A and B are shown apart, each in its own frame.
Chain A
């Protein structure tokens, strides 16, 4: 980060009032705050986007921007990852710091969780030093009220010297005020802009550092003083090359402080911020009446209990599967029967029945099969997942799984992206950024790519569930978990190193919000439909034309050593498996196309269905996932994982075919 890029981070009045004159200019607004405070909820409210929201810390990874026109201003709203501080070089802290200093947003909306002001305000105080106009958003005020916590926002405003707006992101309360008030503060007076909150002991030391610094160094001055006191090498290089003399003076102040407090400098400064934050928070908040947290606490204790917690997890997973199975099966059968009854009639309308078949399986069949086979499983699945995400249960699962995951070189948090993986591997791979070290990120990404995503589940439920039986569905998922454990353990021994430990803030347990759940699941279903149907039609038409032109047999024959001889599958599944690279649900939906019947029970035996599902489950991360892999871990590792999984799936499939043929 160059010095120039930060020049002007201290914005004066003239600068800001420019925005008033030309409303054509875009105003950048950054959402900054601790993890899990509701930044993305507010972002979604403002921009109409559908950023992932859920109830655990660390969902948003990377920056996302959205546009909004508000009272004639063009606003560019940026949703940032949650962070506890912006001073160290931990991933998200660095990312947010570099954004704030490099991109110089015009306004920071500092979202804080009203129910834990003390910890949240420490970041606020740190942000205030940057000299960027800030409006503090006192979010989740509804939860504070419920807990009997009353926050005097006027008092807080006075203490902090910046506007404070109580809000409830979920209910959309206070969101417009936030922007209105935020935009007026763009023109605040310069002398009010850089604020500094320290205890007297630290304040005096910082003042002496600040006095030594050259004017117009290009950084907000108190912030710069703190950075130099901490010894931030990037900034030191910039400043000390111009004024080398102050280096020793500053390091003397640092050692004196460290000796006096018997602590490291960065920890001293953090402690100081927390101390100031605690005072401000306690002055502004008051508990009234009794606190009703006991019920939540009891539930929490039950869910994280070492025995009951695991039993509940197992019971819950089985019930989810069972519910999906019965519900999905019922509707899928109903809808397939309905579509089948149209089929002969439809084909009959064309003079040439082969051509009619071609149109049906290529054009209509795709849409019909997405609607009838995929959605009955997908919709309830996405709803259940969104409920789990919003309650905070996922973090409890991470807690009880911690010691188990340690054995495969990971820790509890790795379970969070894995659960997301059951929905879609792509966000799950990105979600692995919550793992602290590169090694663990790589391991958990590897584990995630083995998790059967919703599309794979459609295949398993639609094929094995419908034709073979529920028990085999559960067996497949259990086998999959065992394989993940085994393979990750093996990968762990290839990538040695001490597993870092679990460090995770425990989110509150919440009653899931109907709106969040419905919206979240709707967006997932919508994304699915928008991509799957056109793709299915294109690929379906392509396969149907191959069939119509009698070309399919060449491909099938070419692949038969693997498909027929080794895996024991019908030869035409070769092309189906290849198409599945695009999206895995295609494998099931296209089976109907190549089988020329919609009763797959006539086309494949039970063993073939299980082997087929097993291969689909493991054989390759789909194109989108491979793309995400390349982005997250680089081309070489992504290729290695992909090739390994193809080989492994074929191996397991062939072995399973031989074993299952013996027993079934």
Chain B
């Protein structure tokens, strides 16, 4: 299978499994506009490569490895969308399709450069979906900005990280990464939101409202923008 096709499958599975349930083959074939037989065949191949777990009649889920690739592609896709609309000024209706074409060709270096030139965006331009954090070995976006491109290509696996805002009420998680400038990271750190800290989401107001979390025995209110920068697992 071609790299592009593999990535397309994994990406689609990721987007269909947002609810946490295994993805049905019929769903997948409809979304990808392919015959169910073709899809089944491909899924078996992906499963043998260890990228998905495929159980006939039950559905397909991503393995850790598959999730890493899918998240990476999603990040590239969303960064490209930002680039196409913010910097090139493309119409928003064209952006998605174009990004789909480009995402498979974008190298990791180019991804990093894109993220920097766009000033580390949080979300997509059109639907404000969150952009997954990069897998670079950096402690903050400030550091990334300062570092030369050459020496950060060493990628780290950032498995299944999601922004805090995607937790359900009452759900617990561990902080893995905080995106953003020095002062906000320092502020959060001092209040006990450090890497590895256990948090639980107390309350999330819908739309652009703030969230409330509990961390180290205290309640802390965070604006949505801040909460989106905190990635948990």
Considering the complex, give the chain B residue whose CB is closest to the CB of A259.
B137
Is A320 on the interface with B (CB-CB < 8 A)?
Answer: no
Contact call A274/B192, Cβ cutoff below 8 A: yes
Q: Note all chain B residues with C-beta closer than 8 A to A411.
A: 223
Known pairs A271-B196, A402-B209; A84 contacts B190 (CB<8 A): yes
Is A406 on the interface with B (CB-CB < 8 A)?
Answer: yes
Considering the complex, give the chain A residue whose CB is closest to the CB of B219.
A506
Q: Note all chain B residues with C-beta closer than 8 A to A278.
A: 216
Alpha-carbon distance A2/B205, docked complex (angstroms): 48
Task: Report A434 CB to chain B, min CB distance, Å.
Answer: 12
Q: Note all chain B residues with C-beta closer than 8 A to A87.
A: 190
Known pairs A93-B190, A119-B217, A270-B190; A503 contacts B209 (CB<8 A): no
Known pairs A271-B195, A505-B218; A399 contacts B212 (CB<8 A): yes
Is A403 on the interface with B (CB-CB < 8 A)?
Answer: yes
Is A263 on the interface with B (CB-CB < 8 A)?
Answer: yes
Considering the complex, give the chain A residue whose CB is closest to the CB of B225.
A501
Contact call A270/B223, Cβ cutoff below 8 A: no
Is A504 on the interface with B (CB-CB < 8 A)?
Answer: yes
Alpha-carbon distance A93/B227, docked complex (angstroms): 23
Contact call A403/B184, Cβ cutoff below 8 A: no
Task: Report B231 CB to chain A, min CB distance, Å.
Answer: 13
Question: Which A56-92 residues have a C-beta within 8 angstroms of B?
Answer: 83-85, 87-90
Alpha-carbon distance A437/B187, docked complex (angstroms): 12
Q: Note all chain A residues with C-beta closer than 8 A to B184.
A: 436, 500-501, 503
Contact call B221/A399, Cβ cutoff below 8 A: yes
Task: Report B104 CB to chain A, min CB distance, Å.
Answer: 29
A582-617 CB mask vs B (1 if < 8 Å, else 0) is: 000000000000000000000000000000000000
Task: Report B224 CB to chain A, min CB distance, Å.
Answer: 7
Contact call B218/A116, Cβ cutoff below 8 A: yes
Q: Note all chain A residues with C-beta closer than 8 A to B196.
A: 263, 271
Q: Note all chain A residues with C-beta closer than 8 A to B205.
A: 304, 306, 400, 403
Contact call A90/B216, Cβ cutoff below 8 A: no
Q: Note all chain B residues with C-beta closer than 8 A to A395.
A: 221
Is A581 on the interface with B (CB-CB < 8 A)?
Answer: no
Considering the complex, give the chain B residue whose CB is closest to the CB of A498.
B225
Is B222 on the interface with A (CB-CB < 8 A)?
Answer: yes
Is B57 on the interface with A (CB-CB < 8 A)?
Answer: no
Q: Note all chain A residues with C-beta closer than 8 A to B208.
A: 403, 406
Task: Report A95 CB to chain B, min CB distance, Å.
Answer: 14
Is B226 on the interface with A (CB-CB < 8 A)?
Answer: yes
Task: Report A558 CB to chain B, min CB distance, Å.
Answer: 51
Is B6 on the interface with A (CB-CB < 8 A)?
Answer: no
Question: Which B75-100 residues have a C-beta within 8 angstroms of A?
Answer: none
Contact call B219/A505, Cβ cutoff below 8 A: yes
Q: Note all chain B residues with C-beta closer than 8 A to A274.
A: 192, 194, 197, 216
Task: Report B123 CB to chain A, min CB distance, Å.
Answer: 12
Residue in contact with A264 in the complex, picked from B139, B188, B192, B216, CB distance below 8 Å: B139
Contact call A506/B210, Cβ cutoff below 8 A: no
Alpha-carbon distance A264/B180, docked complex (angstroms): 13
Residue in contact with A436 in the complex, picked from B187, B218, B221, CB distance below 8 Å: B187
Contact call A267/B221, Cβ cutoff below 8 A: no
Alpha-carbon distance A367/B2, docked complex (angstroms): 90
Task: Report A164 CB to chain B, min CB distance, Å.
Answer: 18
Contact call A264/B183, Cβ cutoff below 8 A: no
Considering the complex, give the chain A residue whose CB is closest to the CB of B137.
A262
Alpha-carbon distance A94/B66, docked complex (angstroms): 46
Residue in contact with B187 in the complex, picked from A399, A406, A503, CB distance below 8 Å: A503
Contact call B216/A301, Cβ cutoff below 8 A: no
Is A574 on the interface with B (CB-CB < 8 A)?
Answer: no
Is B189 on the interface with A (CB-CB < 8 A)?
Answer: yes
Contact call A503/B223, Cβ cutoff below 8 A: yes
Alpha-carbon distance A118/B215, docked complex (angstroms): 10
Contact call A263/B203, Cβ cutoff below 8 A: no
Contact call B212/A506, Cβ cutoff below 8 A: yes
Q: Note all chain A residues with C-beta closer than 8 A to B206.
A: 306
Q: Note all chain A residues with C-beta closer than 8 A to B222.
A: 501-503
Considering the complex, give the chain B residue whose CB is closest to the CB of A123.
B190
Known pairs A403-B224, A406-B208, A503-B226; A118 contacts B190 (CB<8 A): no
Residue in contact with A503 in the complex, picked from B140, B207, B218, B220, CB distance below 8 Å: B220
Q: Note all chain A residues with C-beta closer than 8 A to B183.
A: 90, 436-437
Residue in contact with A502 in the complex, picked from B191, B195, B221, CB distance below 8 Å: B221
Residue in contact with B139 in the complex, picked from A263, A398, A403, CB distance below 8 Å: A263
Residue in contact with A88 in the complex, picked from B186, B218, B226, CB distance below 8 Å: B186
Q: Note all chain B residues with C-beta closer than 8 A to A304.
A: 203, 205, 212
Considering the complex, give the chain B residue whose CB is closest to the CB of A396.
B221
Central interface residue in B156, B206, B210, B219, by most chain A CB within 10 Å = B210
Considering the complex, give the chain B residue whose CB is closest to the CB of A265.
B139
Q: Note all chain A residues with C-beta closer than 8 A to B187.
A: 88, 90, 436, 503
Considering the complex, give the chain B residue whose CB is closest to the CB of A301.
B203
Contact call B225/A506, Cβ cutoff below 8 A: no
Task: Report B195 CB to chain A, min CB distance, Å.
Answer: 5
Q: Note all chain B residues with C-beta closer than 8 A to A271.
A: 194-197
Residue in contact with B221 in the complex, picked from A93, A261, A263, A504, CB distance below 8 Å: A504
Alpha-carbon distance A511/B138, docked complex (angstroms): 46
Contact call B192/A266, Cβ cutoff below 8 A: no
Q: Note all chain B residues with C-beta closer than 8 A to A306.
A: 205-206, 209
A248-273 CB mask vs B (1 if < 8 Å, else 0) is: 00000000001001111011001100
Contact call B203/A501, Cβ cutoff below 8 A: no
Is A580 on the interface with B (CB-CB < 8 A)?
Answer: no
Contact call B188/A503, Cβ cutoff below 8 A: yes
A390-420 CB mask vs B (1 if < 8 Å, else 0) is: 0000010011101100100001100000000
Is A122 on the interface with B (CB-CB < 8 A)?
Answer: yes
Question: Which A285-309 residues have a C-beta within 8 angstroms of B?
Answer: 301, 304, 306
Q: Note all chain B residues with C-beta closer than 8 A to A267.
A: 139, 185, 189, 194-195
Question: Which A352-409 residues have a C-beta within 8 angstroms of B?
Answer: 395, 398-400, 402-403, 406
Residue in contact with A116 in the complex, picked from B195, B209, B217, CB distance below 8 Å: B217
Contact call A85/B221, Cβ cutoff below 8 A: no
Considering the complex, give the chain A residue whose CB is closest to the CB of B229.
A501
Task: Report B223 CB to chain A, min CB distance, Å.
Answer: 3
Task: Report B172 CB to chain A, min CB distance, Å.
Answer: 16
Alpha-carbon distance A122/B191, docked complex (angstroms): 10
Q: Note all chain A residues with C-beta closer than 8 A to B209.
A: 306, 400, 402-403
Residue in contact with B217 in the complex, picked from A118, A398, A499, CB distance below 8 Å: A118
Alpha-carbon distance A403/B224, docked complex (angstroms): 8
Alpha-carbon distance A301/B203, docked complex (angstroms): 8
27 A-B pairs with C-beta separation under 8 A: A83-B190, A84-B190, A88-B187, A88-B190, A116-B216, A119-B217, A122-B192, A263-B139, A267-B185, A267-B189, A270-B190, A271-B196, A271-B197, A274-B194, A301-B203, A304-B203, A306-B206, A398-B221, A402-B221, A403-B209, A406-B225, A500-B184, A501-B224, A501-B226, A501-B227, A503-B187, A503-B221
Which 5 A-B residue pairings sit nearest by Cβ, starting from the closest?
A: A501-B223, A501-B226, A502-B223, A264-B139, A506-B219
Besides A399-B221, A400-B205, A402-B221, 13 more A-B contacts (Cβ < 8 Å) are A90-B186, A90-B187, A119-B216, A258-B139, A266-B189, A270-B189, A270-B190, A271-B196, A402-B223, A403-B207, A412-B210, A436-B187, A500-B184
Q: Which residues of A contact B (CB under 8 A)?
A: 83-85, 87-90, 93, 116-119, 122, 258, 261-264, 266-267, 270-271, 274, 278, 301, 304, 306, 395, 398-400, 402-403, 406, 411-412, 436-437, 499-506
